Amino acid sequence: MRPWFGLHLPDYSFPDTPPAALFDRVVEQARAAEEAGFSLVSVMDHLYQIRGVGEVTDPMLEGWSVLAALSRETTTVRLGTVVTGVTYRNPALLAKMATTLDVLSGGRAILGLGAAWNDVEHIAYGFDFPPVRERMDRLDEALTIIRAMFREDRPSFSGRHYRIEEALNIPRPIQPGGPRVMVGGGGEQRTLKIAATHADMTHWFPLGLDALQHKTEVLAGYCEAIGRDPATIERTMAAPVVVTTSEAEIQAVLERVPPERRPFVAVGPPEQVVDRIRPYLDAGFTGFTFNNSIYRTPESIARVGELLRLIGG
């Protein structure tokens, strides 16, 4: 598979833009990514802005609504959440939402799902935020239901947390078997085990190649235990490089990267950082996401497209 890039949109803060024009800026960035050769535009599934990106009071649009609107403003990029929290929506409803996005976009939806983590917005909005063990159990059940609703005519399921009974999902997804499922997170006790069972794709943070190679081995072990070829799970990650145009930008850019990840992220112009991304390609990673909290303009997104061309994407 050729390497591909995704533009992730966690940031809706445009100080010079009134709310009525906010989505126009989102469209501008999404179209710039499409023109630069990106294959994915993704959004967060959060109701408040998260730490590391901005202040909790910063603007935040509801992710699935943004994706539905972007489906009519783009033509080639895949669209999805990186990733939806399992606690926010009934999984049957989520399967219907992902199917609807697939229909609206002509077969370009992906469904990213994880166990959720942001307790602040759960408390504020009145969502239950159970302990992590239960959230993982919910994730496993939810993915079972979602897969069934993508693939079967009238599936039923009865679990500890969720149930469906002869659930209809009409119209069917455009993509055979439904949108590809991305499981977000690299937890080695439960998340990777769930990914081995359900995922078409994983998405991890840049923790250094050695750490990610270890996670790859853990994932492969879980796949072996259930008789699945680990090569059938595409491994993607937040990019281990940041593209800049000048030395003066480097410090400002690094301040936008969480401190714990800075040792594992190379910063510089495309021709300088290309060799820092190649080891990840050699290790089998195929997709790399770049955040609009760093790449704010069409011009900066286009520069990332130069890196994509350098690596043969």
pLDDT tens, residue by residue, 231-278: 999 999 999 999 998 777 777 777 777 777 888 899 999 999 999 999
Beta bridge partners of 111: 181
For residue 116, the one-letter residue type is A
Instruction: Report the pLDDT value the prediction gives residue 260, as an integer from 0 to 100.
Output: 79
Show the CA angle centred on residue 35, arms to residues 34 and 41, nearest 5°.
15
For the packed helices 22-35 and 63-70, what is the interaxial angle rounded to 10 degrees? Answer: 60
Dihedral sign for Cα atoms in the order 105, 22, 204, 208: positive
Average pLDDT, the chain: 95
Instruction: Report the pLDDT value the prediction gives residue 273, as an integer from 0 to 100.
Output: 94
Decide if 137 contacts 161 (C-beta within 8 A). Answer: yes
Q: How far apart are CA 293 and CA 256, in angstroms?
A: 7
pLDDT higher than threshold 80 for residue 13: yes
Summarised one tens digit per residue, pLDDT across range 166-182 is 999 999 999 999 999 99
CA-based R_g, the chain, Å: 19
Instruction: Report the pLDDT value the prediction gives residue 258, as an integer from 0 to 100.
Output: 76
Summarised one tens digit per residue, pLDDT across range 23-36 is 999 999 999 999 99
Strand order in the sheet with 4-9: 78-81, 40-43, 4-9, 285-291, 234-238, 201-204, 180-184, 110-114, 84-85
Summarised one tens digit per residue, pLDDT across range 61-100 is 999 999 999 999 999 999 999 999 999 999 999 999 999 9
